[in-house]
Structure 1
Amino acid sequence: MTAQQSSVPPSTVLGRQLGEELRAFRETAGLSTAVAAEALDCTKGKISRIENGRVPLRTPDLVALLDTYGVRDAATLQRLTTLARTANRRRRDGWWNQYGQVLADTYRDYIALEAVSESIKTFQCQLVPGLLQTPAYVRAVTVASRAWHSPEEIEQFVQVRLARQERLTNDPRLTMWAVVTEGVLLQQVGGPAVMRAQLEHLAAIAEEPNVTVQVLPFSRGAHAGMFGPYLLLSFPQVSALDVVRAENPTGAVWLEREPEVARYRELFADARTSALSPAESVARIKRVAKEHRA
């Protein structure tokens, strides 16, 4: 999340859609990435990044690629040009870009994807999921991370987290399913008062129709999710593939290949099967909230 994080940025949904169409045209024409690279006077690596949706594509380059692939249909050109411009605009104009001084590019890329997703599934073994955190909890986590030092930077990051939460509470089309271990409920983040308020909020928001929260108790023993937190984003576009963000102490790893994503779907299915039911989970959260006494 910080400027120190280093990982390959995720492709945008629209960028990946555009890239998939360009790859299909290139393969139909029987051309290699080397030929495409010659058309743009660039490296084969850049063509791969374009086809994976990782870099913006200028209109002149799009026209040159389509001409090289023998695609000269005006309607196709107009449709793909509009798609490229929309993808580039979403990269540039998102509200999160105003927080560039406290957010790494990769974290802003994540927020951009989250903003157009229709489903978020997350497994957390240490922290309450970000979209379900209270302001005091966010602040305590931000201070503990030691990634931001001045009060102004800390407060800006808190505002980013709260801004992200607005869509979950205001857009019923977005659904969230969170599985958290029992340790998340017991970890003293910010002290007893902060934790009690956080768990009361978690129990309340879990009652919303677009939010499901399950608790995986210690009594379940060893499980596949012990190796770290992750989240799975799904999108409404028919051609859009799911993406996974797997967290680690120095950043995050993005996974987009279908076999890797499928593995995380299996992990999440196993976690929610092993966890308490949603109703039992809310009852457990409420009980633990009362145990956090200031």
Structure 2
Amino acid sequence: MTTPPDCGPAPLVLGAYLRSLRLAQGLTLAEAAWAIHGSAATLSRMETARVPLRWEDASTLMDHYGITDCPTLEAAREWTTKTRWGVIGDAAPGWQDRLRACEHHASAISVYTSVTVPRIAQAVGCPVDELTLVMAATDEARVRVHSLIPGQPGQDVTIIIDGAMLLRTLGHPRAMATQMAHLHRLATSAGGPRILVAPLQAGAIPPAGNLYQLQLFGHELWVSEGYNATYATGADSETYRRCLTAGLGAAKGAKMSAAMLKVASTRFERLATPKTPGDVLERLTS
């Protein structure tokens, strides 16, 4: 499914953000619509990008939901003027909340990663890389993290992991072992996500950070995530599409990928418990 040319990423992302803020406040559509003197049906269409979202309504809703800082409001104001732009960047405060909102409300998610384990698949309470730690320390979350739970079916999720991540010690080896074991549980759980590993020798060039393909409110939305987020739709997403397609083509099947995650978990566990310098060398070469 592709996004019609008259709907860029801005209304999709802003609509998902407003919906998540409303739900975080425990408000129904009717209760929140009262703030803009509208109906529940109208607000629902705003949240799902089926009608234009005016700045007056967006600012009123954000204030109603407790968002009052100027940088976030200014970014939202700018987005309401760029509804047809095919590419839009988001480095304003709360950018992670807006990406989390898109993850929450997407019916399907595909993500290709080479630097950090995607938030949706991170072991709870066990960050394993600098990017996650930095972002968690500097950005107050208003939208809760969307995490996959082993054995609990939900969205259609595919995660492609660059093979280098199974070799790099992005954090403490013990944390990496925990994370790889968590990925293995997800990959082998009934109804769980598809987690595929693209080995180094396959030659696919991975994204610089995390690359997402989201099916959001009936539209296809692409996201490049690093220390900020860039959203794209339509023809402007073609580079992202080629990258994800190459990753899928290079990835091993689900069974082989699960076995590779298991081996990586064991390897990191061994690295976490060396006894002597000689033992370290033996473990690294075994």
Query: What's the TM-score once normalised by structure 1's chain length?
Result: 0.58
Cα contact 1:229–1:247 (8 A) shared by 2: yes
* 2:228 aligned with 1:251: yes
1:269 is matched with which residue: 231, 240, 245? 245
Aligned to 1:129: 118
Structure-2 change in CA distance of 1:227 and 1:115 (3 Å)? closer
Q: Is the 8 A contact 2:162 2:199 kept in 1?
A: yes
Paired residue secondary structure (2:171) = coil
Superposed displacement of residue 255, structure 1: 0.8
Local SS of the residue matching 1:189: coil
Residue 118 of structure 1 aligns to a residue whose secondary structure is strand
Deviation digits for residues 3-62 of structure 1 (CA, Å, limit 9, x no counterpart): xxxxx984237959xxxxxxxxxxxxxxxxxxxxxxxxxxxxxxxxxxxxxxx9x968x9
Partner residue, 2:283: none
Looking at structure 2, the residues matched to 233 and 243 of structure 1 have their Cα atoms a distance apart, in angstroms, of 5
**Residue 281 (structure 1) aligns with:** 257
Instruction: Answer whether contact 1:96 1:160 (CA < 8 A) is retained.
Output: no
Could you tell me which runs of 5 or more consecutive residues in structure 1 were left unpaired when the two chains were aligned. Answer: 1-7, 17-55, 63-76
Matched residues, number:
213
The answer as to whether partners of 2:157 and 2:194 remain within 8 angstroms in 1 is: yes
Is the aligned partner of 1:180 residue 2:161?
Answer: yes
List gaps (5 residues or longer) in structure 2: 1-7, 17-32, 50-56, 73-91, 273-286
CA 1:125–1:80: 2 relative to 1, 3 Å: same
Distance 1:199 1:94 in 2: 41
Provide the rounded CA distance (Å) in 2 between the counterparts of 1:85 and 1:242: 16
User: Which residue, out of 219, 231, 248, partners 1:241?
Assistant: 219
Partner in structure 1 of residue 197 of structure 2: 215
Match of 1:11 in 2: 11
Tell me which residue corresponds to 2:100.
111
- Find the aligned partners of 2:126 and 2:40 in 1 and give their Cα distance: 48
CA gap of 1:148–1:78, structure 2 versus 1, over 3 A, is closer
Alignment check: 8 A CA contact 2:177 2:266 kept: yes
Q: Residue 260 in 1 paired to residue 210 in 2?
A: no
Query: 2: CA distance between counterparts of 1:177 and 1:96?
Result: 34
Q: Which amino acid aligns with 2:230?
A: V
Counterpart residue identity of residue 135, structure 1: V
Matches within 5 A, 1:30-109: 80=42, 83-84=45-46, 92=62, 104-109=93-98
Q: In 2, distance between residues paired with 1:281 and 1:86?
A: 35
TM-score by length of 2: 0.60
Cα deviation per residue 1:213-254 (whole Å; 9 max; x = unaligned)? 111111112x2435543111103x4xx321111123x41211
Displacement of 1:134 in angstroms is 1.2
RMSD: 4.1
Q: 1:42 is matched with which residue? A: none
Who is 2:84 aligned against?
none
Deviates more, 1:170-179 or 1:280-289: 170-179
- Tell me: CA distance 1:107–1:94, structure 2 relative to 1, closer, same or farther (3 Å): farther
Amino acid at match of 2:220: D
The corresponding residue for 2:87 is none
- Matched with 1:72 is none
Report the Cα distance in structure 2 between the residues aligned to 1:229 and 1:78, rounded to whole angstroms.
Answer: 35
Deviation of 1:288 (Å): 1.6
Residue 287 of structure 1 aligns with an amino acid whose one-letter code is: V
Q: Which amino acid aligns with 2:113?
A: Q
State which structure, 1 or 2, has the greater radius of gyration over its C-alpha atoms. Answer: 1
Distance (whole Å) between structure 2 residues aligned to residue 192 and residue 261 of structure 1? 36
Structure with more of its chain in helix, by fraction: 1
